[in-house]
Structures are given as C-alpha cells and as structure tokens.
Amino acid sequence: MHRSIATVSLSGTLRQKLEAIAAAGFDGIELFEADFINFKGTATELRGIVADLGLSIDLYQPFRDFEGMPEAQFLRSLERAERKFDLMEAMGAPMMLCCSNTSPLSIDDPARAAAQLHELAERAARRNLRVGFEALAWGRHTSLYGQAWNIVKQADHPHLGLILDSFHTLSLKDDPAGIADIPGEKIFFLQMADAPLLAMDVLQWARHHRSFPGQGDFDVVGFFEQVLRTGYTGPLSLEIFNDIFRETPNRRTAVDAMRSLLYLESEARQRLAAVQPQRVELFNPPPVAALSGLSFIEFAADEASALTLDTLVRQLGFRRIGRHRSKAVTLYRQGEINFIVNAQPDSFARGRFEAHGTSVCALGVRCADPLAAVGRATAMRSKRHDSPVGPNELRVPAVVAPGGNLIHFVPEALGANGLYEADFILEDEAPEANDAGLAQIDHVALGLAVDQLDTWVLFTRAVLGLEAGESLELADPFGLIRSRGVANAGRSVRLVLNVSLSQRTRTARTLSVTGGGAVHHIALRCDDIFEAAARLRANGTRFVPISDNYYDDLATRIDLAPELLARMRAAGVLFDRSPAGDYLHIYTESFEGGLFFEVAQRVGAYDAYGALNAPARMASQAQD
C-alpha cells in the first residue's frame, strides 16, 4: 500500500520530520497546517524538498468548522478554502481534509451540510483537487462515520469523499462493521491510530494519548479489515497526537510508525486471506516464530564485576559449568536456567558495561526456526546483529532490541547443551551442595524510559509475537510505576515492562545507571518456595525484609490457612491469588546498578506477576 504519516505525529522542525519520514521508508505525508504555517519557506519550496526526499504530499489538513454554518459564515469559509486551495496547488497536495464542525454556530441540518460540502467540492474540482470529509469523535452534530457517510452521499459530488479514522470510531465504541458496505471508491483516505483504554474526555484522549497501531488496546486490525472489504486501495496513513512522541527523537518514532503499519497490514492479510482476494498488496513478512522459552540471560561485566557476579550467582545456587572456547565468557547453570557472564574486552557486552555499568546485555529465546525469526524481525524494521565467532563455534542469529540489548534466537534442535557444547569447554555438571531448586526463568522485567514503553509493546507484538496484558499503576514511595506484562500464548516467554512516572523512584534511579532501558529484575521459578528460600539463605542470599503489617493485612484480604500464613511471615514470602491459582514469591536485595532477583512459585494456572505486592517490596527497599 501507499504508506503515509501526518507530520504532527513526530517531533522536530518540518524539515527534520520530513527527513525522518523518508528515512523510515514512507511514501508520503499528511501535511498538518501548523507545520506549514511555521515553515520558513514557500509552498513551492516545500514541494521541492518533499520531492527530493522521494515523498508526496497526500493530504493537507485540517480545514475546520465549515459545514452546516449560517450563510454569512459559510461564504467566509468558502473564501478561506480558496486560499487553502492556492497553497495546495503550489505544494502539490491533491486533497484537503475537512473535519466535522465543532462550532457552536453550526446548525444540525444534514441537508445544509451536504449542500455546503457540495459547493466546497465543486470549487475544489475546478482546480482538480478533492475534499475528504471526516467525522470527529467530538463533532458538534456529526461524530460517527455513518453520519458523515450519509452527508457525503447526499452531497453527491465526485470530488467529495469520506475520510475514515480508526480513533474517532473506536474511541466512541462505534461498530466499524458497517464500513464494509461503503463503496471503496468513496473512501478517499484512511487514517489509523491506536490508543490505551482510558476513562477520560474523548477530546483530551485524542489530543494527548493516541499511539501507533499495535501499541494500544483498540481492535485496529478489525477496523482496517472492514475498510479493506470495501475494496479501498488508497493511502494507509497514521495521524497520531501524543505528548511523548512530540519529545521523542523523530528517527526512532518514524521507525516505530513504519513498523506499526507493516504489523497492521500483515495481521489484516492473515484475517482476509481465506475470505476474499485483495485489490491491494498487503505486507507479507515471515510468520511469527513459535518461541518455547528463554534459553539464557547474558550479563555484561568487566573482570572485577565478573568476580562479584560469580559470588552472587553461586549464592543463588548456580554452578559454573563452562568457559568459552575463545572469549572471557563464563557459563553458569541451575535447572534449565543458563546465565552467561561476558567479560570479553571490546565485545558488545563490554561496551554495555563501560557505558552503563554491569547489566543484562542479551536474552536468548528458543525457537524452531531462528533464521525465519530474524527474517521477520528485519522485515519489521529491527536491525540484525552478527557477533564474531571463532573456529567451530555456532553463529546464533540475533537482532537489536529497542534500547540496544540483543535478542538471540537459539535453535530448539540443539537441545539443552547443543549451543553450549559448541561454544564452551564444559566442566563437571554434577549438582553442588548449594543448589537451591530453581528450575526455570519465569519472567524478565525491564525498566524503561517513558518514551520506550510504546516502542517495546509494539516490538514484542510485531517481532516476537507476544501479547500485551493489562496496564497497571504501582505505588513506589516516591512516585508511580506503570507496569505491563507481555507473553507468548504458551506463557514460556514472559517480559514485564516497567516505566517510572517520577524521577525519584527506585526504577528511575536504576534507569539513570543503565542509560534509559535495561533488565532490572529477573524472576526464577521453583517448585517449593519455602525450601528454595531456606537453601538460598543458607548460601548467603539476602532478601528484602517484609513488614509484619503486610501479613496482618494479607490475612484480612485472603482466606489463608494459619500455618501457611505463619510460614510466609517467617520466610518473608509474599502471596497473591487469582481465580486460576496462587503466586508465592520473594525478592533478593539489589546488586550493583539496582539489579535484583525474584524467586517465584506458581500454583495452578495463575497467570500474573504478583504486581499487587510490588509496593511492599518498593517500600521496604526505600527504607533500607
């Protein structure tokens, strides 16, 4: 499809926005009027700049408060429109967006609105221009696409058509199914926007909280599907009003924008493939890789920190089982959990250490077809990473995740030791006395800068095929933490994305060390939380102390056996319950840079992360 984006969606000057849009691979733009008004140049000069960048100006917008007006205001608006048409001719913009009227002077008379839009379209036709009419969700008399379509039909002019915007329809919970009955040739333009589900005034929601498709909670794929069913072949565009995007570097935002359209097209293509042939080619990337679990976590360290990490992971019950054949890299294991400590000078991992301190620099995920997984990732605008390998060592495909960490795709066919036998000189794997019964990586939590949350949600959906859970707000003593879990269908790969809304929280302080986005806590699963905690304490592991008041309150909220409550109190174990099962967990004290571990036991089909207990942990850490 012809892919476009509104200039209002990005930060920067108009020239900077255009350069970012072109670099991300877009075909065209919607020129937001304010961007042109503040541009130091003529419409003709802008036309040349846009053309030199390989772009087109697909839409000039918005033209406000036009239809359904008293005669005097209508005549003045026609003169206003003629001046806009002058600009559009000079800049080469073929279409104007006319949004539904919000003026208190407007008259609730669809026939008047249709007649006035007919006259506007007639004047546009004299210049071979077109007008698209869009229903604003907060329009005074026209807020639904069905109302706008009825007016367009009544106006009956070939140069007047409908503009559809997913936000305006889905924010009002208007059913998009009726779109499929509109003739595709009368839909002149399509704007897509997602958004989180928020209980707020729709105008404020629209102007501050829209997001790219795949970043929010709307069924944007279902909306797009209905538009395609009409036979629509026009531009697919993004119009995003978002406070964070207005300050985020526009090159990164533009890449997210393109990724969102590719994701949207690919998802709609799958839904429609068996239903009807498409009149327009939709993006067809390699399918999402079936992930089966986390294979390893890699830490970046220097020589001194590697020794400190050695002590820490041994206290957690891990044993050193191998050293890399050609690099200063050590492998630790417990159960099915593999930790890699990379202290190789001049490596990617070492670069992470020198910039941000000891941190997690890479995750390994198991999948059946790593090359296909990397193929999908690069098709979805992620960058491939190839690490240097020595003789007889395996090349494990990897991509760069948002923020710079690596995601390695490890072939399932290698089994438990295949990768490590090739790259490491393995040592005696006999269990040592300090084994704590930790069996698997339950989830990995990332602390992100505010402007990275939407990027990560889209990345995990579009590239890894994970689905986002509910967004929660958790209380740190010094501010709020916004938290959202993402996981694959089998729940073998789970990530938790955390953002601090305050600069004073522990998460924010961790970000200041790690450079804006990194793993800050790792949850390890066991079968018996009490036995694991006892063994870990015997190994020297120190846990975050939990207030007795927590357990007193817990007994009033959840019906627990007194002996279980007593065991939890004695061990410092926290508890959560859902209709599907229970979750018992305990947190270690923080390591260098704020990294800490969680030991967890899932009972039944519990599918969350014990988020209600996070404030108890954060409050305790704040009192240290």
Give the H/E segment covering residue 49: helix 43-52
Report how far residue 223's alpha carbon sits from residue 216's, in angstroms, rounded to the nearest whole number: 14
Report how far residue 195's alpha carbon sits from residue 205's, in angstroms, rounded to the nearest whole number: 8
- 3-state SS record for 151-186: HHHHHCCCCEEEEEEHHHHHCCCCCHHHHHHCCHHH
Number of helices and strands in the chain (H, E): 20, 25
Report how far residue 132's alpha carbon sits from residue 98's, in angstroms, rounded to the nearest whole number: 6
Task: List C-alpha distances in Å: 243 to 9, 199, 320, 375, 497.
Answer: 10, 18, 48, 33, 20
Report how far residue 78's alpha carbon sits from residue 235's, in angstroms, rounded to the nearest whole number: 27
Q: Residue 598 annotated as binding?
A: yes
Q: Indicate the length of the chain as a whole number.
A: 624
Q: Residue 154 annotated as binding?
A: no
Q: Residue 165 annotated as binding?
A: yes
The gap from C-alpha 575 to its chain's centroid, in whole angstroms, comes to 29
Task: List C-alpha distances in Å: 130 to 69, 85, 98, 127, 236.
Answer: 21, 10, 10, 9, 17
Amino acid present at 516: G
Residue 421, C-beta contacts closer than 8 angstroms, at least 6 positions apart = none
The gap from C-alpha 254 to its chain's centroid, in whole angstroms, comes to 13
Nearest to 49 by CA among 3, 73, 16, 10: 16
Q: Residue 427 annotated as binding?
A: no
Q: Residue 141 annotated as binding?
A: no
Report how far residue 452's alpha carbon sits from residue 244's, in angstroms, rounded to the nearest whole number: 9
Give the H/E segment covering residue 587: strand 581-587
In the DSSP assignment, the letter for residue 410 is E
Ordered strands of the 398-400 beta sheet: 383-385, 398-400, 406-411, 359-367, 291-300, 337-342, 329-334, 319-324, 424-426
Q: Residue 134 annotated as binding?
A: yes
Could you tell me if 279 and 233 are in contact, meaning their C-beta atoms sit under 8 angstroms apart?
yes
Q: Hey, how many other C-beta atoms are within 10 angstroms of the C-beta on 299?
A: 29
Could you tell me if 416 and 410 are in contact, meaning their C-beta atoms sit under 8 angstroms apart?
no
Q: Residue 168 annotated as binding?
A: no
- Half-sphere exposure at residue 116, Cβ-oriented, CA atoms within 13 angstroms: 27
Nearest to 408 by CA among 399, 417, 419: 399
Pairing between β-strand 398-400 and β-strand 406-411 as defined by DSSP bridges: antiparallel
Q: Annotated binding site for a divalent metal cation: which residue ranges?
A: 134, 165, 191, 239
Q: Annotated binding site for Mg(2+): which residue ranges?
A: 443, 521, 598
Q: Annotated binding site: which residue ranges?
A: 134, 165, 191, 239, 443, 521, 598
